A = this chain, B = another copy of it.
Amino acid sequence: MTKLSSVLDRADQNIDDSLDRLFDLVRIRSISTDPAYRADCRKAAEWLVNCLADIGFDASVRDTAGHPMVVAHHPGATPDAPHVLFYGHYDVQPVDPVELWEDDPFAPAIKDAGNGRKVITGRGTADDKGQLMTFVEACRAYKEVHGSLPLRITILFEGEEESGSPSLKPFLEANADELKASYALVCDTSMWDSETPAIAAALRGLVGEEVTISAADRDLHSGLFGGAAANPIHILTEILAGLRDETGRVTLPGFYDGVEETPANIKASWEALGRTAETFLGEVGLSLPSGEKGRSVLELTWARPTCEVNGIWGGYTGEGFKTVIAARASAKVSFRLVGQQDPASIRESFRNYVRSRTPADCSVEFHEHGGSPAIQLSYDSPVLTKAKNALSEEWEKPAVVVGMGGSIPIVGDFQKMLGMESLLVGFGLVDDRIHSPNEKYDLKSFHKGIRSWIRIMDALAAK
């Protein structure tokens, strides 16, 4: 038996205990965006420190102005073993609307999903607790078999990824020497499909904004004032509707500065993957592509910028009816960025646009919710090639290199602040319902995810 297969076997033997540990972590309600769950976030960090210490890491909870970081170190088996930084996040999204969950979001369980498929249910199982635990459990199996790890490993888990990571940059800056490694491993992305592993080499950036339009100094009766007084919901809907033209392009001045057309050969390789609007949107009950006209869904979600309204509220929203003209109305708006789009310029262009459309007797307030540029990683580095081969062996299917519609701002921070490229490997699936009710993570993703990291660590350690 080779050394590698012994570790893989150990991971198989450990799987029930590995699941127990994941369940313990999922039970902790670490919703970072809601201050009511502050203590739960700390509890998740402490749980991870204990878990890592148990494997032999030198692990600690590190305070920040927000939720704490977890930092852990483990030497490699040899002094010249490569040094990697593994990153994940222990915080999760809010669970509302909670009435749409089939089960308590914080009571994880294994459920049969048909066709012999089993899934792990609960908030954070896929984003990102289940994913980060694939790496931790890979380390555990390796350590148990060999008494050592093949790489020198630093771990960084943050607790603010779902709320804009306000403490991350100051923390990277203050601890750059401690955290810098040869490259970073990040496990917060998806497979191409349930059988095909994927490595992400392009990530969209993000600008998040909250805008509130205020009109009268109180709510008004729409009978007494309707037709004469400004209605902030009208102003807001007109502003939001005007953000896109009839071709689906965003209308903000300068918005497309730094956006380049995707090279023809890359487009061709994406087309070969065979994802159509029908198959992609069909999984969520839709069929017609929205957004910019004349582009494939892969291009729309990987290589084109967007503007999405993520939330809107104003006036009476309870049962029944109330003939009110609200004093104010608000929306949360996000822009996904690609290429060289500059988050600060786009935020300013948005704000100027909103101000220009707000009547002189009304006022507007903005609140910033994070911003990060898009990321483009190398398509053919040695690290990527080793990982690609390791994944292909585990899944018995060639791994594909893809773009990602989502944003993982830390990858840009690692580039800029620590001079370190990232390898983005994850085992999520498109139907995991991350950020939605009934989030799940496939048991196969978890189990083969652990095995995948064992193979990747082994491959990265090889000369």
Chain A residues in the interface with B (C-beta under 8 A): 32-35, 93-94, 96, 162-164, 190, 204, 206, 208, 210, 215-231, 233-234, 236-238, 240-242, 244, 277, 280-281, 284-292, 297, 300-301, 304-306, 308-326, 329-332, 334, 336, 359-362, 369-370, 404-407, 430, 433-438
Contact = CB atoms under 8 A, between A and B. Distances in A.
Given A217-B285, A229-B281, A231-B290, A223 B336 contact: yes
18 contacts: A93-B322, A94-B322, A96-B318, A164-B320, A220-B435, A221-B406, A222-B308, A225-B301, A228-B280, A228-B301, A229-B290, A230-B288, A237-B237, A237-B240, A310-B321, A310-B325, A313-B313, A324-B435
Contacts of A233: 240, 309-312, 331
Given A226-B306, A228-B300, A230-B286, A433 B312 contact: no
A230 B316 contact: no
A311 B319 contact: no
Contacts of A215: 286
A369 B321 contact: yes
B309 A332 contact: no
Given A33-B318, A222-B334, A435-B324, A228 B289 contact: yes
A249 B32 CA distance: 45
Contact of A227 (B34, B300, B316, B318): B300
A227 B336 contact: yes
A228 B290 contact: yes
Contact of A334 (B321, B360, B437): B321
A309 B215 CA distance: 14
Contacts of A238: 241
A163 B334 contact: no
A297 B96 CA distance: 43
Contacts of A437: 218-219
A323 B221 contact: no
Contact of A286 (B216, B321, B326): B216
A244 B407 CA distance: 37
A436 to B, nearest CB: 4
Given A219-B437, A220-B436, A233-B331, 11 more contacts: A34-B318, A35-B319, A96-B316, A225-B405, A227-B290, A228-B289, A233-B312, A310-B321, A311-B317, A321-B370, A324-B436
B289 A323 contact: no
Contacts of A229: 281, 284, 286, 290
A155 to B, nearest CB: 24
Contact of A208 (B93, B162, B241, B321): B321
B321 A163 contact: yes
B204 A223 contact: yes
A404 B329 CA distance: 26
A435 B327 CA distance: 12
A435 B323 contact: yes
A113 to B, nearest CB: 15
Given A94-B316, A210-B321, A227 B310 contact: no
Contacts of A284: 216-218, 220, 225, 229
A228 B309 contact: no
Given A229-B286, A237-B241, A324-B435, A224 B430 contact: yes
